[in-house]
């Protein structure tokens, strides 16, 4: 666990290939993400006790652990470290002259430097992936699955290391880090349990037979955001490799170290050289990867602006593309809802993970008299502890960068300027032990109108905007007119109202008496409108996305 100085106590994660592993957080801003259940301890008590229903490159000094050494707690090295690329199962320091500083989001201490990988390094990663793909695809799927099962074993050996990485690198609370790890493991299990989705169709007549087969598309690029650096790569990579493809992962430059630890586990699990590669960098690295002719498919989760650029680039070069981007998720509260359960659910979704997830409930639509509940919600949100993720009592951690903090506070300022009321103000929040931290406290804004920027845009911070309406139909109309379509929840004890909501709402993922969760198990993400471009991730969709169907007709006489 991170102590008083998170940069010195948890410096970096294990190095299993006699290479240094750097733990880094970048200083640039980004808006990307997804939802993970909020697990602060009071919410756990609520569920069990009250409702019973339901966060310059220089070589670093290093400590290494040999590959064959089994340990559940990996050796740690002292920052600042140098983030390395993984190409052909070998970690190496980039030859770039462009390095980005990465900072602890709580203490602002320098943790590491992350490279803007060179064109030659990007080309090499794609080339080795292309060279490795035919042999990998020729392995029986049972053998590919066996290697993924080995990966599960390796990952679970290093549970604590991943959790510490997420706490230091992203500022997650322990509960949020544990939840993300569990959901990433679940994603691998789901992929391994559903390989029958690759089975083709078969038709016969008197003398002919026609059947379909699914073949890999080739080299795939996976681009992931900072806020779930363990879980989101595992939404795509297991499906891609199970179907016989090879992968180049480009993780967020703000959270590359969890990805590198994941890469070391891929190697330790027995993936052949070239099957999974990792290239670090910013948007320039993405553009160079997308420009590679041999790349056949691109999976992206991140901000709307970046997602649109990736989508247009991929479309122009005739690549397959799946894009999941921003959201503005509404929680509709009816007068008959269970008040305590509803307020805890909304607070957990809005403020958990510091609001840095695209499935956060960031809009509360108060129907009728429920506007009076806002006072109680303010008291609940005010009681949440804001602090460093390493503190076991912390319920709201820091934002990823100083730029992210500035952007969120600017949005709150703009809301005030446009006439909204800030009834709980998290601006200029100070945690005494971390006076330079990227902290914004839970913030609640009322008297919001739909034309205001705080309603129109994804804020991506611990900010909840509240709109008062008279009826469920009015609430549904507002949610439907919003350009985003990630998620929407209804809180009610009336199943008839729930059915009306379910039928009328035009949003891809809905919850009834629960916030909308990220994709879990065999369920796909089904976002719509401006939250989604191309193909969906998770569920059945990846089996089609990462394979090419081929129809064979044979005549036998």
CATH of the domain at 472: 3.40.309.10
Q: What is the pLDDT of residue 528?
A: 66
In a domain, residue 106? The reply is: yes
Q: What is the share, in percent, of the chain residues with pLDDT greater than 90? A: 73
Same domain, 309 and 452: no
Burial pattern 343-353, b for ≥16 Cβ within 10 A else e, equals bbbbbbbbbbb
**44-102 residue pLDDT tens:** 433 323 222 222 222 322 222 233 333 344 444 566 889 999 999 999 999 999 999 98
Are residues 365 and 249 part of one domain? no
pLDDT at res. 530: 61
Residue 358 among the catalytic residues: yes
- The pLDDT value recorded for residue 38 is 37
Give the per-residue pLDDT at 35. Answer: 32
Shared domain for 481 and 394, answered yes or no, is yes
CB 22 within 8 A of CB 61: no
* CATH assignment at residue 165: 3.40.605.10
Q: Token pair 């480009």 is at which residue?
A: 250
Are 417 and 309 within one domain?
A: no
Residues 433 and 470 in one domain: yes
Q: Let me know whether 146 and 266 are in one domain.
A: yes
Shared-domain flag, residues 409 and 425: yes
pLDDT at 196: 79
More confident residue, 27 or 111: 111
Same domain, 407 and 479: yes
288 and 319 housed in the same domain: yes
- pLDDT over threshold 90, residue 404: yes
Catalytic residue among 265, 358, 366, 488: 358
Q: 234 with 244: CB under 8 angstroms?
A: no
525 confidence band (pLDDT: 50, 70, 90) = low
Kindly report which listed range (10-24, 114-128, 407-421) carries the lowest average pLDDT score. 10-24
Per-residue confidence (pLDDT) for residue 543, from 0 to 100: 87
Structural domain boundaries, residue 68: 6-198+214-326+535-545
Cα separations (Å) of 432 from 6, 139, 391, 522? 15, 56, 13, 44
Calpha distance 324→212 (Å, rounded): 29
| Same domain (yes/no): 270, 366 | no
Mention every residue, 6+ apart, whose C-beta is less than 8 A from residue 516. Answer: 35, 329, 359, 361, 486, 487, 488, 489, 509, 510
**296 and 388 share one domain:** no
Model pLDDT, residue 92: 98
251 pLDDT exceeds 50?
yes
Two structure tokens written together for 171: 């500022």
18: pLDDT strictly greater than 80 = no
CA-based end-to-end distance of the chain = 71
Q: By three-state DSSP, how is residue 122 classified?
A: helix
Q: What percent of the chain has pLDDT over 70?
A: 83
Task: Answer yes or no: is pLDDT of 519 > 60.
Answer: no
| Total of domains in the chain | 2
* 36 pLDDT higher than 50: no
Number of Cβ within a 10 Å radius of residue 261: 28
State the average pLDDT over residues 217-245.
97
With a cut of 50, say whether residue 27 has pLDDT above it.
no
Assess whether the previous peptide bond of 80 is cis (omega < 30° from 0): yes
Amino acid 527: pLDDT: 67
Among 74-78, 172-176, 240-244, the minimum mean pLDDT is found in: 74-78
Query: What is the average pLDDT score of the chain?
Result: 85
User: What pLDDT does 352 receive?
Assistant: 95
Q: Could you give the CA distance from residue 109 to residue 244 in angstroms, rounded to a whole number? A: 42
Which pLDDT value is given to residue 248? 99
pLDDT of residue 24: 29
């Amino acid at each position: 666990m991170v102590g008083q100085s998170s940069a010195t106590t948890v410096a970096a994660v294990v190095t299993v290939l006699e290479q240094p592993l750097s733990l880094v957080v970048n200083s640039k801003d980004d808006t990307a993400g997804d939802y993970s259940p909020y697990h602060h301890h009071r919410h756990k008590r609520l569920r069990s006790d009250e409702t019973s229903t339901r966060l310059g490159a220089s070589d670093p000094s290093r400590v290494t652990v040999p590959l064959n050494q089994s340990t559940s707690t990996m050796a740690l090295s002292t920052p600042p470290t140098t983030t390395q690329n993984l190409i052909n199962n070998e970690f190496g320091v980039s030859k770039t002259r462009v390095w980005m500083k990465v900072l602890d989001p709580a203490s602002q201490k320098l943790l590491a430097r992350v490279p803007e990988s060179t064109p030659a390094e990007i080309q090499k990663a794609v080339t080795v992936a292309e060279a490795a793909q035919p042999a990998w695809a020729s392995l029986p799927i049972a053998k590919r699955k066996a290697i993924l099962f080995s990966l599960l074993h390796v990952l679970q050996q290093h549970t604590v290391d991943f959790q510490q990485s997420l706490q230091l690198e992203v500022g997650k609370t322990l509960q949020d880090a544990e939840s993300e790890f569990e959901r990433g493991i679940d994603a691998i299990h789901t992929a391994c349990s559903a390989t029958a989705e690759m089975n083709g169709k078969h038709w016969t007549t008197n003398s002919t037979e026609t059947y379909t087969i699914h073949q890999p598309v080739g080299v795939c690029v996976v681009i992931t955001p900072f806020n779930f650096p363990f879980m989101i790569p595992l939404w795509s990579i297991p499906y891609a490799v199970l179907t016989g493809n090879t992968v180049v992962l480009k993780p967020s430059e703000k959270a590359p170290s969890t990805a590198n630890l994941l890469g070391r586990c891929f190697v330790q699990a027995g993936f052949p050289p070239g099957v999974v590669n990792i290239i670090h960098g910013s948007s320039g690295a993405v553009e160079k990867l997308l420009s590679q002719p041999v790349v056949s498919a691109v999976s992206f989760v991140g901000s709307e602006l970046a997602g649109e650029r990736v989508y247009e680039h991929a479309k122009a070069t005739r690549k397959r593309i799946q894009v999941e981007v921003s959201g503005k998720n509404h929680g509709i509260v009816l007068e008959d809802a269970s008040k305590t359960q509803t307020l805890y659910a909304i607070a957990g979704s809005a403020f958990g993970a510091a609001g840095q997830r695209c499935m956060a409930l960031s809009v509360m639509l108060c129907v009728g008299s429920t506007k009076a509940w806002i006072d109680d919600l303010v008291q609940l949100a005010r009681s949440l502890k804001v602090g460093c993720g390493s503190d076991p009592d912390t319920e709201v951690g820091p934002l990823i960068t100083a730029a992210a903090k500035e952007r969120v506070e600017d949005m709150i300022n703009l809301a005030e300027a446009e006439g909204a009321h800030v009834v709980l103000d998290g601006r200029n929040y100070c945690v005494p032990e971390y006076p330079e931290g990227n902290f914004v406290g839970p913030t609640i804004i009322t008297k919001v109108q739909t034309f205001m920027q705080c309603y129109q845009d994804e804020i991506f911070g611990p900010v909840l905007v509240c709109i008062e309406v008279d009826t469920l139909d009015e609430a549904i109309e507002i949610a439907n007119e919003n350009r985003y379509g990630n998620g929407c929840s209804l809180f009610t004890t009336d199943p008839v109202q729930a059915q009306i909501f379910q039928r009328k709402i035009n949003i891809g993922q809905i919850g009834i008496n629960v916030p909308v969760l990220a994709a879990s198990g065999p369920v796909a993400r089904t976002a719509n409108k401006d939250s989604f471009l191309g193909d969906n991730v998770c569920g059945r969709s990846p089996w089609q996305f990462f394979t090419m169907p081929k129809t064979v007709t044979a005549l036998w006489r």
